[in-house]
A and B are shown apart, each in its own frame.
Chain A
């Protein structure tokens, strides 16, 4: 079974306002999107709002969403990074909808050390250009090949490599005391 083709097929249906297809895409990707939002924001409630907003944006911007290797995941991840940079404004856009959605008990907060590290990372992220932050998350944290990451943010691979290198150097400098382990990006194949 070809998962990529299946997802591309789902996306074709979703673009035609097929709710079942959107629900299936939510099932495929919500866990990873939530974990990424939580990693960036450090607060479960904010991460939930951001996850919801990322999928609402997937619907709202369905005419311009770009598939990469047949998947909406890279687009969702970039959107999550961008939304996380201003989580409150994001939540405001969908305030009424989010307020009406039922929730269980509040989640316990992450431990203090990790929380501080996250806040530092979030703060450093906030100072990166949005495209650089997206490139960093896609390639370093999500293992998306750099050629695909470049495609989803609309850059040439060579330009993306340079910007990513600068972003990594900057984060490594700013967060040196946290001993970040920044792996090299995967190259992948140019499509």
Chain B
């Protein structure tokens, strides 16, 4: 066997594992169920947006972000990379809300967004026009650079797009702390608190210990706590704990 090629037997097995994605045989999907379950913390509360709406009410979980449109919508249609002039940046603006639509089915559109995690200098939303014509709503696009009033939509040459955009205020609430001094709430651009909001059990917010989550490798169970960090209200099965039949909902506490 050549040392510059992968073991063919392993390559074939890997290929089969990837080919099984999207089917019930995918061990990769079962294995990753923990990220998906815990992504609920961010996913469920992702802000469904309306550029026309008034203040977008998010939720009461500490660490969540509220985005409020400030009005003055700017529209533009363009082909290839172009800018949108939004006018002077209001003092209370923290982000830009952008609605972006592909007008032809080719190429990609890229919008720069605010950092999603500590240490990150920024992030991107990439839209693949070959597969979609419905508008994409972005509620955390970066503000114009200091001294500028424009944001840039980066597009492939020949990609036609239409955008509407307006400034918005963006407020991220502080994490709360329990009696033991542990912070709790949603993961956000500041990172994750000691107890991450994981899902709602019987109408009550429930949390997973960030330390326990990081420490668990492979399969097992993660305790679900109330915000006091000690009362256990259930468990998440992670990966394929014992029986090879993981379930997506928390199991009752034994």
Contacts and interface: CB of A to CB of B under 8 A. Distances in A.
A71 to B, nearest CB: 12
Contacts of A100: 27
Contacts of A93: 217
A55 B18 contact: yes
B18 A94 contact: no
A25 B21 CA distance: 13
A56 B28 CA distance: 8
B6 A51 contact: yes
Contact of A95 (B6, B81, B218): B218
Interface residues of B, number: 46
Contacts, number: 117
A23 B19 contact: yes
Interface stretch (B126-134, B163-171, B189-197): B126-134
Query: Which bracket fits the contact residues of A?
Result: 35 or more
B3 interface: yes
A6 to B, nearest CB: 11
Interface in A16-48: 16-20, 22-23, 25-27, 30-31, 34-35, 38, 44, 47-48
A52 interface: yes
B10 interface: yes
A176 interface: no
Q: Is the interface of A mostly helix, strand, loop or mixed?
A: helix
Nearest to B12: A102
A66 interface: yes
B5 A103 contact: no
B21 A8 contact: no
A67 B18 contact: no
B217 A92 contact: yes
Interface in B1-53: 1, 3-11, 13-23, 26-29, 31-32, 35
Interface stretch (A105-113, A137-145, A160-168): A105-113
A16 B126 CA distance: 15
Contacts of A108: 3
Contacts of B26: 19
Interface string B100-117: 000000001010000000
Interface of B: 1, 3-11, 13-23, 26-29, 31-32, 35, 81, 108, 110, 121-124, 126, 128, 130-131, 154, 156, 217-219, 239-240
Closest 4 CB pairs of A and B: A17-B22, A19-B21, A23-B19, A22-B18
22 contacts: A9-B130, A12-B128, A18-B21, A19-B19, A19-B22, A26-B14, A26-B18, A30-B11, A31-B6, A48-B6, A51-B14, A60-B35, A66-B110, A96-B240, A101-B14, A101-B17, A102-B13, A103-B7, A107-B7, A154-B123, A191-B154, A191-B156
